[in-house]
Amino acid sequence: MEENNESSSSFPIGQTAQERGFSHVPECYKAQYSDRARLDTELADVPLINLDGICNPSRREIIIEEIANACRCNGLFQVVNHGIPQSVLDGALSTASDFFNLPAQDKAKFMSNDVHNPVRYGTSLKDGVDKVQFWRIFLKQYAHPLQDWIVLWPDTPPDYRQKMGEYAVAMQKLAVKIMEAITESLGLGPTYLTSKLDDGMQVLVVNCYPPCPQPELSLGLPPHSDYSCLTIVLQDSPGLQILDFEDKTYKAVPAMQGVLQVHVGDHLEVLSNGKYKSVVHKVRLNSEKTRFSIVSLHSLGMDVKMEAAKELVDEDHPNGYRESSFRDFLNFISKNDIGEGSSFLNTLKI
C-alpha cells in the first residue's frame, strides 16, 4: 500500500488514509497539540433525564426544571424513556454500518465537498482542502420533511431508507417534544418554536470512525459547537468529549444502550440570549474498533433567521447576538476552516 505522499491534497474523498487503512497517521491528520484528545479523560457528569411522564402536569414541572438546569450548567444532557423503541435505534446503527461497508463505487455518487448538497458523502470537513483532515467517514442527508428528501438517499443497503427513515421521523418528533420543554423553561411557553421546527430543517449525519493507528495524534472531529437549535446524538460506543463549563477541560460522555445525548446548539444560545450555552465538543478516536454515531441536527428553515427572543431582552439583559439562518451557517463553513478554530457562533456575538 502506497503511503509515501502525505500532503493534504493527496487525500481526496475515496482515497483518504482512514479509508485505505494506513498504519500510521499522516502529517495532515495531526491535530493541533492543544486540540488533541487525551485517551484517559475523566467522565463528564452529564445529567440523565427521565422523560417518562412529560405530559403529566406534575411530572412535567420536574422534568422542565431538570432540563433548564442542564441547559444552563452543562449545555448537554442525556434522556431515557424517550419513547423510541430500541429496535429503531439498533436498526439505524445496523444499516449505517452496512452502508459504510459497501464497495467504494456504491458510495462514489454521493461524494462531494459542496456543503450545500442535501446528501453528501465525505471523509473530513472539506477533503483535500482544509489544512487539517479528520479521521472520519460520514453521510450527511437532509431528512425533514422525509418525503421531500428520502428519494435522494442511498437505496443500498436495501433497508437503508426504511430503517434510517424510521429513525429520522422519531428524532424529529422527539426534538419538538424536548424543544417545547426548553422554551417553556425559558418562560416563552411550550409552542413558541413548534410550528417553525415543524417547517424547519433536520439534517442527519451518519458517522463512521475507523480504528486509528495513533489515536493520540488525530481527531474524529475538532472542537466545535453545533449550529442547530438542538442536536440529538446516538453513539454505539464512547468517543464524544465535551468542554466542561466550569474547569474548561474536556471530559468523556459515556455511551449507554438506549440513551440519547441532547446538545444545546448555537441557535438555542441565541434564542435564550445567552441564558443557555451551546456545548463545545470533539470526537476522540481509538485503535481497536470502528465507532458509529448518528447525529440529528434540528433548526429553523433554510432562510428563517433565529434571533434572541424579545421576551428575554431588556435593559439589564441587552441583546447579545446577531440574527442568522441555516444558510448563513452553510456559507460560513464553505469559506472557513473550523479545524483551524473558526467559530460560527463567535461571528454572531455582539
> Which amino acid is present at 230?
L
**344/265 Cα distance (integer angstroms):** 11
Buried-state track 252-281, b at ≥16 Cβ within 10 A, e below 16: bbebeeebbbbbbbbbbbbbbbebbbbbbb
- Taking residue 336's Cβ as centre, other Cβ atoms within 10 Å add up to 17
100-109, 238-247, 334-343 — which is least confidently predicted? 334-343
Helices 160-185 and 57-73: crossing angle, nearest 10°? Answer: 90
Nearest residue to 270 (alpha-carbon basis) of 324, 339, 201, 335 = 324
The CA–CA distances, whole Å, from 349 to 61, 210, 279, 297, 299 equal 32, 36, 16, 21, 19
pLDDT band for position 339 (50/70/90)?
A: low
pLDDT surpassing 80 at residue 2: no
Q: Rounded mean pLDDT of the chain?
A: 91
pLDDT band for position 119 (50/70/90)?
A: very high
Q: Are 98 and 90 in contact (CB under 8 A)?
A: no
Write out the E strands in the chain.
48-50, 76-80, 119-122, 137-142, 201-209, 221-224, 230-235, 240-243, 250-252, 260-264, 281-283, 291-299
Q: What is the pLDDT of residue 349?
A: 92
Chain segment 137-164, per-residue pLDDT in tens: 999 999 999 999 999 999 999 999 999 9
pLDDT surpassing 50 at residue 4: no
23-32, 252-261, 295-304, 309-318 — which is least confidently predicted? 23-32
Chain segment 184-206, per-residue pLDDT in tens: 999 999 999 999 999 999 999 99
Q: What is the pLDDT of residue 113?
A: 83
The vertex-124 CA angle with 37 and 29, nearest 5°, equals 50
3-class DSSP state for residue 34?
helix
Backbone torsions φ then ψ of 216, nearest 5 degrees: -75, -15
pLDDT band for position 181 (50/70/90)?
A: very high
37-46, 227-236, 250-259 — which is least confidently predicted? 37-46
pLDDT surpassing 70 at residue 289: yes
Q: Which residue has the higher pLDDT, 26 or 260?
A: 260
**112/105 Cα distance (integer angstroms):** 14
**44/41 Cα distance (integer angstroms):** 9
pLDDT surpassing 50 at residue 263: yes
Q: What is the pLDDT of residue 94?
A: 98
pLDDT surpassing 70 at residue 9: no
What does pTM read for this prediction? 0.93
pLDDT surpassing 70 at residue 112: yes
Q: Are 212 and 18 in contact (CB under 8 A)?
A: yes
pLDDT surpassing 60 at residue 36: yes
- Give the contacts of 185 (CB within 8 A, at least 6 positions apart): 64, 65, 67, 68, 71
Q: What is the pLDDT of residue 313?
A: 96
Q: What is the pLDDT of residue 337?
A: 72
